[in-house]
A and B are shown apart, each in its own frame.
Chain A
């Protein structure tokens, strides 16, 4: 059996200065060769690891036969955003984890093949999508992130008249404001969303449901069901002294300024950003990785990632961690901030940290970090980015009577993805999802249940 074919990457010292993609994609030959590694299992285990239920051997078979157009057709039956998933899904924990080849060697590069098929289809003339027969029923989708887009796409394919309400001025949610272009180019995202528009989905921007209109208003306007994919909100702050000093950003603020507002092109664009010389990012998830790599790209001399456990425990994908290290990011493990220190004008100039050690794994198997007393030390910095996670967005539940949340603020949903309000469904971050693909999976399941609800 042949080796898994690695996708070629741009050299770290070149790519860490721009926002072009890191991975270059497969050539036709590479894709066909990788596709031929697939054993075409009768009972494919990979599919069990896919939240959006893609017929994985089915699309790979077409690539092996040099038929990318056929591959994209199979992909799009289940996945409305294949070019996105091919780039940002943690396949190593999903489909590829279950690939039978993985037992003795490396699993089939399912993600790479998905990306190849999606990009190939975009280059060819737009594959005409089957127009669904409209059933005359209107569904409102709140939020145009991965959960909302998936739900909207599936419903449109079933014949629903779908309108997506987005509070920002552009579509995509976290796919646009959060994930940087070197991982997911805006053009690729635009293409995916254009193909959703081609299904007849309407997008309304600058529209904050809860404030501009209520969910009740939507029902009065003739929508028969509502899907809430409003995403995460309120960034978490560590609760340590000095965390509100100037030039301490949440990762969300930093990334929104760069990705959504193009602040790195200031003053050509009007949104400013302080680019930083010695940047410290606190956290260990994918958002932390996006932050360090972005800070490097806009010109920081040194970028340090401070994490309270070791790299091994970081929630970020292995690939992102590798890429960050290759690009010159320094990881400072087993370290946590205890205090921020500012100059006389209130601008951060240092962060005082403390070393941590890990306990033996607890009942849940996770090692707890504990501070080592007296190990405090100072890291000088002029820009701190806090990537410590987000709380669910509180606006909509706080303004909608009967829409209940659990203790953590997530919308309560039943096994049919319905919230505590009849006809109102939810998925993604706001209902406890935490990754793009989880959000997409929830959007997909919600769409099925909305269909069942409206067909009852």
Chain B
């Protein structure tokens, strides 16, 4: 069992938990994830490690309540426990001195960008962070991003904060003004795809962190397979980061829709009967 030490709402449906997991904290690096299962009947879901405290022996997860499991997870409180957490999984982000790095973050992907830019900045890079959200209320981690970026640029779809427009609008402006050595894009798939399409003709190396459907997360089942440069890659062991210009985005988008119907059925069922099974064991 893994105890929740603190709980914080970052926006209306995004929450941050600090969880006791000493051994995972010790070895976790930027870019890695955990797989968790809430209770006996729960599914295994991957979540990015959004920070850690080695001395306290804790890891942070940040998640958006989007379906049944994440909503149920959001109903837990400080002192409650999560039944299973395994990690850190996946390859860590390779941190080196590239020069000028642009990190593009969208939605809950912002949580994953934070540890990456922290390390990139420490490694001596100039880090320009571009974060996008639909509106001001959905923007998360602004202070932390600012603290760990050389420059922070904010874009909102409705113009309620920062620049009005998409992250690609801002990115296009940045790359037209200065030489960018590498781009990281972490967020919703359409956003990552748009960034990839933009940087490809400009020949700017671009890495994305993929979050396909997973089950075991240890390279056993192949649920998370993605086509990268015409090869099958397993996001859980070969990734989660890949060369954005080689990812077969349409296949990934299609594969993510595999259980759409099931997911909404499960969520509806849960909303009408929202008892948390964690407390019944």
Contact = CB atoms under 8 A, between A and B. Distances in A.
The answer to whether A and B interact is: yes
Contacts of A207: 23, 86
Interface string A247-271: 1011011001100011000111111
Contacts of B265: 267
B218 A167 contact: yes
Contacts, number: 125
Given A234-B237, A272-B259, A274-B258, 16 more contacts: A211-B87, A232-B220, A237-B222, A237-B232, A246-B257, A246-B258, A249-B222, A252-B220, A253-B215, A256-B220, A267-B265, A269-B41, A271-B44, A345-B254, A394-B237, A395-B218
Interface string A227-257: 0000111110100000111110110110011
Instruction: In the A-B complex, list the 8 residue pairs whose CB atoms are closest, starting with the nearest.
Output: A346-B254, A272-B262, A253-B221, A270-B43, A250-B222, A206-B86, A169-B84, A271-B43
Contact of B216 (A244, A256, A268, A270): A256
Interface residues of B, number: 41
B27 A213 contact: yes
Main secondary structure on B side of the interface with A: mixed
A243 B24 CA distance: 35
Nearest to A253: B221
Contacts of B254: 245-246, 345-346
A277 B263 CA distance: 20
A244 to B, nearest CB: 6
- Central interface residue in B83, B85, B222, by most chain A CB within 10 Å: B222
A16 to B, nearest CB: 24
A205 interface: yes
A171 interface: no
A168 interface: yes
A252 B222 contact: yes
B251 interface: yes
A205 B251 CA distance: 34
A253 B222 contact: yes
A208 B237 contact: no
Interface of B: 23-24, 27, 37, 41-44, 68-69, 83-89, 215-216, 218-223, 225, 227, 232, 234, 237, 251, 254-255, 257-259, 262-263, 265-266, 269
A266 B85 CA distance: 22
Contact of B269 (A243, A256, A267, A395): A267
Contact of A252 (B83, B88, B221): B221
21 contacts: A167-B86, A167-B218, A168-B218, A169-B37, A205-B84, A212-B88, A233-B218, A233-B219, A233-B237, A234-B222, A237-B222, A244-B255, A256-B215, A256-B221, A261-B43, A267-B262, A272-B43, A272-B263, A345-B254, A345-B257, A393-B218
B256 to A, nearest CB: 10
Contacts of B84: 169, 205-206
Contacts of A213: 23, 27
A261 B44 CA distance: 9
B69 A211 contact: no
Chain A CB within 10 A, most for which of B88, B219, B251: B219
B68 A270 contact: yes
Nearest to A210: B218
A282 to B, nearest CB: 14
B2 to A, nearest CB: 9
A427 B259 CA distance: 37
Contacts of A246: 254-255, 257-258
Contacts of A177: 216, 220
A208 B218 contact: yes
B213 to A, nearest CB: 10
A208 B89 contact: yes
A212 B251 contact: no
A394 B254 CA distance: 28
A393 B27 contact: no
A102 B254 CA distance: 55
Nearest to B84: A169
Contact of A244 (B23, B85, B215, B227): B227
Contact of B251 (A206, A232, A244, A272): A244
B23 to A, nearest CB: 5
B220 A270 contact: no
A256 B223 CA distance: 11
A244 B27 contact: no
Contacts of A261: 43-44, 215
Contacts of A268: 41
A269 B266 CA distance: 9
Nearest to B223: A253
B218 to A, nearest CB: 5
A244 B232 contact: yes
Contacts of B234: 234
A127 B85 CA distance: 35
A233 B218 CA distance: 8
B69 A270 contact: yes
Nearest to A262: B41
Contacts of B219: 233-234, 393-395
Contacts of B220: 177, 231-235, 252, 256, 393
Nearest to A272: B262
Contacts of A205: 84
Given A168-B216, A212-B24, A394-B219, A266 B266 contact: yes
A328 to B, nearest CB: 26
B40 to A, nearest CB: 9
